[in-house]
């Protein structure tokens, strides 16, 4: 009988029971590959998963933002994948439900998910479906690729908004003149600003609640006069004074108050994109609902990102931007740890002891 090979992994046994330990190295099933993890980022959703709510199963390796190198392939997988640098789409669609039949896998009704429903990337190795791989260009680093997932989420949100507002209203000039607000400057909000800037939008009004966020928006080319500190200013009044109303509002917070501010701040026929996960139950006051009706506002939710294998999906959009050097997400990596020391990053995010944007774990 062959002895099982071991690896190191962060295993979530239960709420507040999260340990770095030996675990059996996975072997890829048919249609799957084995990836040697090179970099893995901590997502904000990993914090409640580890310390508050738990995951869908126990004894789980969490982590869904990661990249690596293909080490082995299962049956029915092209051996040419071996040795290639890859990013990994973490959602594993059923490919049978209604949205899947339309290629809208991000809305799959019966999905699996690396790092929350099956083992993910905070480990030396992880088994993933070959269909979820995206090959990395030579000039894209593992750390950049570990941010593909949140970048694609930001791009998906951006595109949802542009579909609503009509991106080509009167040509490029009007696009440059469009007034856009981004409220909430966590990782997704900052990446959204980065891609809006890359897309050519210039009138981007950003709303945050930390002094350190000014430094990050400066690196994205947003001047201080476009930054609203919500601790010091009423958001609606500030936008009225500085923008005179906005055409599109990306709500990346998930609170009743900021949704109401968005509705108050939008120009007639403007678009509201709900990006932020809700902090609590959400409700609309009667006055807010009336404004949506009377101003004929457009509203959409956005979830995850499109990964179809086509060149125009969100992941390929991001890869193309990285390959051409149009975006630099690595500037948002605030902390780096060897994978075995990654608990330090989890505690920083849980306890808010330091300012952070993206905390990254790396393997040699």
Q: In this prediction, what percent of the chain has a pLDDT beyond 70? A: 97
pLDDT at 173 (0 to 100)? 47
CATH, domain 152-301, list 3.40.50.720, 3.40.720.10, 3.40.50.1010, 3.40.50.300? 3.40.50.720
Chain segment 198-241, per-residue pLDDT in tens: 999 999 999 999 988 988 999 999 999 999 999 999 999 999 99
Chain segment 303-347, per-residue pLDDT in tens: 999 999 999 999 999 999 999 999 999 999 999 999 999 999 999
Alpha-carbon span 90 to 210, nearest angstrom: 30
Mean pLDDT, residues 13-29: 96
- Contact (CB, 8 A) for 28 and 34: yes
Q: Does the pLDDT value for residue 171 go beyond 50?
A: no
CATH, domain 6-146+328-362, list 3.90.180.10, 3.40.47.10, 3.40.50.300, 3.65.10.10? 3.90.180.10
User: What angle in degrees, to the nearest 10, is found between the helix axes of 314-323 and 148-165?
Assistant: 110
The per-residue pLDDT of the chain, averaged, comes to: 95
Q: Give pTM, 2 decimals.
A: 0.95
Pull the structure tokens for residue 106: 């991000």
Q: How many residues appear in the chain?
A: 364
Q: Does the pLDDT value for residue 167 go beyond 90?
A: no
CB within 8 Å of 303: residues ≥ 6 apart: 106, 107, 156
- CA torsion 208→64→255→111, rounded to 10°? 150
Chain segment 283-292, per-residue pLDDT in tens: 999 999 999 9
Pull the structure tokens for residue 293: 């009706």
The DSSP string of 18-70 is EEEEEEEPP---TTEEEEEEEEEEPPTTHHHHHHTS--SSSSEE---EEEEEE
* pLDDT grade for 280, boundaries at 50, 70 and 90: confident
Residue boundaries of the structural domains of the chain: 6-146+328-362, 152-301
Alpha-carbon span 298 to 268, nearest angstrom: 10
């Amino acid at each position: 009988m062959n002895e099982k090979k071991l690896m190191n992994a962060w295993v979530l046994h239960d709420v507040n029971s999260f340990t770095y330990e030996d675990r059996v190295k996975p072997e890829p099933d048919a249609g799957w590959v084995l990836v040697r993890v090179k970099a893995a980022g901590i997502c904000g959703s990993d914090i409640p998963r580890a310390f508050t709510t738990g995951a869908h199963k126990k004894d789980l390796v969490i982590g869904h933002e990661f990249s690596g190198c293909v080490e082995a392939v299962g049956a029915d997988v092209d051996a040419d994948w071996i040795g290639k640098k890859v990013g990994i789409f973490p959602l594993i669609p059923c490919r049978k439900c209604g949205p899947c039949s339309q290629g809208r896998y991000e809305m799959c009704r019966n999905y699996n998910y690396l790092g929350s429903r099956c083992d993910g990337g905070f480990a030396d190795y992880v088994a993933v479906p070959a269909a979820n791989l995206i090959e990395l260009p030579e000039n894209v680093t593992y750390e950049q690729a570990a941010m593909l997932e949140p970048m694609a989420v930001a791009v998906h949100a951006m595109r949802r908004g542009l579909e609503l507002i009509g991106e080509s209203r009167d040509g490029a000039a009007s696009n440059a003149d469009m007034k856009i607000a981004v409220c909430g400057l966590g990782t997704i909000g900052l990446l959204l600003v980065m891609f809006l800037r890359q897309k050519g939008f210039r009138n981007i009004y950003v709303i945050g609640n930390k002094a350190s966020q000014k430094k990050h928006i400066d690196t994205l080319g947003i001047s201080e006069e476009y930054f609203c500190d919500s601790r010091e200013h009423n958001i609606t009044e500030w936008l009225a004074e500085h923008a005179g109303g906005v055409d599109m509002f990306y709500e990346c917070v998930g609170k009743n108050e900021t949704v109401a501010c968005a509705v108050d701040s939008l120009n007639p026929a403007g678009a509201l994109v709900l990006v932020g996960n809700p902090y609590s139950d959400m409700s609309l006051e009667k006055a807010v609902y009336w404004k949506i009706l009377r101003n004929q506002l457009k509203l959409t939710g956005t979830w995850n990102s499109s990964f179809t294998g086509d060149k125009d999906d969100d992941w390929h959009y991001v890869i193309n931007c990285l390959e051409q050097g149009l975006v630099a997400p690595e500037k948002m990596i605030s902390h780096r740890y060897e994978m075995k020391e990654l608990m330090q990053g989890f505690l920083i995010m849980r306890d808010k002891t330091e300012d952070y944007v993206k905390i990254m774990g790396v393997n040699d």
